[in-house]
Amino acid sequence: MDVQPGDVAEEIRRLQRCINDLVSLFALPAMWSGGEPSQIVDTLLDALLRMLQLDLVYVRLRDSGGQAPIEMVRFAPSQERTAQERTAQERTAQERTAQPHEIGEVLKHWLGANPQEWPPLMRNPIGGRDLSIVPLGLGLQGEIGEVVAASERADFPRQTERLILSVAANQVSIGLQGARLLSEQKHVASELDRRVAQRTRELAKANEELQLQVGLLQHIPVAAWTLGPDGTPDFVNQNWLEYTGQALDYIRSDPEAWMTAIHPEDREMASSSFWGGVRSGQGFTFEARFRRVYDGAYRWHLSRAVVLRDAEGAILRFVGTSTDIDDLKQSQDDLRRADERTRLIIETALDAVVTMNSQGQITSWNKQAEITFGWSCAEATGRHMADMIIPEQHRTAHELGLRRFLETGEGPILRRRIEIIAVRRGGAEFPVELEVVPVRLRHDWVFSAFIRDITESKLAEEKLRANELHLRRMTETIPEMLWSATAEGAIDYCNTRVLDYTGFSAEELMGDGWIKLLHTDDVDQAARLWMSCVTTGAPYRVEVRTFRLADRMYRWCVRSALPLLDQQGRIVKWYGTVVDMHDWKQAQEDLRNTQAELAHVNRVMTMGELTASIAHEVNQPLSAIIASGDSCSAWLSNDPPNLDKARAATSRIIQAATQASEIVQRLRALFKKTTSMTASVDMNAVIEDTISLVHHEADRNKIFLRTELYPGVPSVSGDRVQLQQVILNLAMNGIESIAGLDHEPKRLMIRSTLSNTGELLVSVEDTGLGIEAEHADRLFAPFFTTKPQGIGMGLPICRSIIEAHGGRLWAVKNEPSGAVFHFALPVTAPVALPAALPVTGPSE
């Protein structure tokens, strides 16, 4: 190299400048004390830029402490302007990142590598010209960062510049290290401060909280307490103290002192729980019986303690409560027992009770299910219900059904009793009654199935059906007309006999169609009676004329029915018959006619016995007539004629004739074959009429005839002729009985009175031969007589007449001898009984 004097002066100037710069650089750290790294770098950059007239200087600081590396760049002012200009143009097109970053990007390729490896030249990202770069590491090993100085001068870097750069780098390193240290120190200090502050805050807060808690604890209505980390109670609230009766000092004296309040049986468990919780620092929970000092009762408590830790996790305290759960436990017990009971009920239920979840798996299986299906509970639980109890052919349907329900909420077999075929272990199928009840449990469904094996009841049903069939066959074969009706009175069955007899079809007769069978006059009564019987359950019996197809006539039939009652006495059904009694009724009528004839014959015969009396009766007025006639003509033949006497005679004739005709009339009535006529009959008059017929007979036989007729006797409803016949018969019998006597008394007495049951009582009393014991029971029997010419129908006819009038006829012995025949008849109107009986004299 050629050295020029100008060059030497330039050189000297440069060297002076360099020394000045160096001095400045040595002074830098003083400026940097207490400074931030960025500030330091800033200063460096400025200094370097100025000193060396760089175009670009870039610093990158590696971070310490996990932060991002700091990058800074300085451009020469000219560069700046260009950059600015440039960037203004480019701004719109690009996203601007921090300029240092850009440089960093460019340099990145070489950053981190050994500075010696760096190329000497680099393109200026801003100007576009080449830059000579000088990278320098900061820190002894370049661990702090890098500084890159760049210039467009070709002679950059000169040795002096190099020197300045390295000194600057060293200074900066020192400065940065110092700053770093300072910053670290500061950091630690502040960190410490922060920590202390936090701690203090925490402690204060904890204390505050504690105070609060204590305050709360004091007031909460449970026994509450706090324990130190070693388990010693340090606070016990009033509630506890009052409950247990323990004193605070006592409790604090020993960690286990408070345990004396626990029931001896529970102490060991409580103690181990307690210490376990304290020592492990996890707190504890146990249930034990605590003694309530108020009544000495031991009551269940739940004691719980939770741990309070500080920021470091050290145990501050245990805070706990003891809650009286005795009632809860009681109800828990009750609940448990109820549960147990429920479980037992389900277990012992006669139905198999199986529950299933929404997946179709069996979740419970009671004892009856075990018996019914032959699977034990263990075998069944968890398995698919379909597999266990549903026959194979129906399983798919079951699955589909289940799914459908879960989707739609509808299920045709749910909540109803249905009959299906189930299968038991071994594959045997059998009929069951099933009811499935879905229950919603939170978000899912549970199904309860109640299953009853109805094999037996189905058998019984079969048997019943067979029985019914048998019964039906029977009712169709029995040669009687049978029918049945519902409890409401609607006919539901007629056997074929009914249909054959009436010619109606079954449909026509059902319900109340049976009315069509009856004669119109009988429908009303029959229907009314039927309705009444259906309501009251009384036996039904009615005589009605029913239509018979064979001769298209209505015939008298007896319809009768009886109800069938269940065990509670309610009517279940009516069973009835229809019996054709037309012929019988006819026969009855014929009998009645015959009886009437017989009665007539009897009357005639009785009359026959009375011929003498009758003759006498008639002869009396006759002789009066003739005598009067004779005397009348005699008086008229007198000279002069005695007209008065003649007239008197004439009137006697008329009187007598009238009397005679009355007698004849009376007799005629008795002789007539009259049909029964009902009217109001005065018995006393009847008795007196009879007396007039028999009194001559009585006189002839020297029999004293007497009547005692109660004057107020009420009338009876009946046939006068027939009733007279009775009295006549009885009187004649009495007279005949006495006639044979040859000693006194010879007395016949006819009485009428009112019995104390309100009936009319007539008695015919004689003192005759009486009734012989051996004849006593045959007295009223037909064809029994002791009379040689008697036919023995008198008394039977009398009895049948009296009974037809609703009365009764009987005979008793008379004292000292003879017989009394009584008959009683119902009166037409009630009459009060008199105080005493009047007595009438002997009859005329």
Partner 1 sequence: MSDPNCIVFMVDDDPLVRDSVADLLDSAGFEVRTFGSATEFVQSKRPDLSACLILDVELPGLSGLDLQAELANSGVEMPIIFLTGHGDIPMSVRAMKRGAVEFLTKPFRKQELLEAVQEALRRDSEGRLQRSETSELRKRLRTLTPREHQVLALVVTGLLNKQIAGELGTTEETIKVHRGRVMSKMGAGSLAELVRMAEKLKVSA
Binding residues vs partner 1 (CB under 8 A): 612, 615-617, 619-628, 630-631, 634-635, 638, 642, 645, 648-649, 652, 655-656, 659, 695-696, 699-700, 702, 704, 842, 844
Q: Which residue, 368 or 631, is less far from partner 1 as judged by CB?
A: 631
Three-state secondary structure string covering 598-635 = HHHHHHHHHHHHCHHHHHHHHHHHHHHHHHHHHHHHHH
Q: Which residue, 248 or 636, is less far from partner 1 as judged by CB?
A: 636
> Residues 316, 235: contact at Cβ < 8 Å?
no
Q: Which residue, 180 or 645, is less far from partner 1 as judged by CB?
A: 645
Q: Which residue, 238 or 658, is less far from partner 1 as judged by CB?
A: 658
Least separation in angstroms between residue 711's CB and partner 1 is 22
Least separation in angstroms between residue 843's CB and partner 1 is 8
Beta bridge partners of residue 760, listed in sequence order: 754, 825
| Distance in angstroms (rounded) separating the CA atoms of residues 719 and 679 | 6
Least separation in angstroms between residue 651's CB and partner 1 is 10
- CB-based contacts of 771, cutoff 8 Å, min separation 6: 779, 811, 813, 819
Least separation in angstroms between residue 609's CB and partner 1 is 14
Q: Which residue's structure tokens are 């027939």?
A: 722
| Distance in angstroms (rounded) separating the CA atoms of residues 238 and 218 | 6
Q: Which residue, 18 or 694, is less far from partner 1 as judged by CB?
A: 694
Three-state secondary structure string covering 52-83 = HCCCEEEEEECCCCCCCCEEEEEECHHHHHHH
Closest CA to 749 of 681, 664, 814, 669: 814
Q: Which residue, 189 or 643, is less far from partner 1 as judged by CB?
A: 643
Q: What is the DSSP letter of 390?
A: S
Q: Which residue, 446 or 657, is less far from partner 1 as judged by CB?
A: 657
Least separation in angstroms between residue 731's CB and partner 1 is 16
Taking the CB of residue 799, how many other CB atoms lie within 10 A of it? 20
> Residues 809, 676: contact at Cβ < 8 Å?
no
Least separation in angstroms between residue 555's CB and partner 1 is 56
Least separation in angstroms between residue 733's CB and partner 1 is 21
Least separation in angstroms between residue 635's CB and partner 1 is 5
Least separation in angstroms between residue 611's CB and partner 1 is 10
> Residues 163, 18: contact at Cβ < 8 Å?
yes
Q: Cα–Cα distances in Å, from 364 out to 354, 403, 492?
A: 5, 20, 48
Least separation in angstroms between residue 528's CB and partner 1 is 60
Consecutive H or E run containing 233? strand 233-236
| Distance in angstroms (rounded) separating the CA atoms of residues 625 and 631 | 10
> Residues 399, 408: contact at Cβ < 8 Å?
no
558: phi > 0 → left, psi -120 to 50 → alpha, else beta; which?
beta
Least separation in angstroms between residue 713's CB and partner 1 is 25
Q: Which residue, 43 or 655, is less far from partner 1 as judged by CB?
A: 655
Q: Which residue, 355 or 631, is less far from partner 1 as judged by CB?
A: 631
Q: Which residue, 393 or 637, is less far from partner 1 as judged by CB?
A: 637
| Distance in angstroms (rounded) separating the CA atoms of residues 298 and 307 | 27
Q: Which residue, 613 or 763, is less far from partner 1 as judged by CB?
A: 613
Strand order in the sheet with 553-565: 491-494, 481-486, 571-580, 553-565, 540-548
Q: Which residue, 394 or 616, is less far from partner 1 as judged by CB?
A: 616
Beta strands in 640-720 (DSSP E): 679-681, 704-709, 716-718
Q: To 5 degrees, how large is the angle CA 247–CA 248–CA 252? A: 120
| Distance in angstroms (rounded) separating the CA atoms of residues 86 and 127 | 9
Least separation in angstroms between residue 699's CB and partner 1 is 5
Least separation in angstroms between residue 695's CB and partner 1 is 8
Beta bridge partners of residue 666, listed in sequence order: none
Token representation of residue 302:
């739940």
Amino acid letter, residue 10: E
Least separation in angstroms between residue 819's CB and partner 1 is 24
Q: Which residue, 445 or 704, is less far from partner 1 as judged by CB?
A: 704
| Distance in angstroms (rounded) separating the CA atoms of residues 325 and 304 | 12
Q: Which residue, 149 or 693, is less far from partner 1 as judged by CB?
A: 693
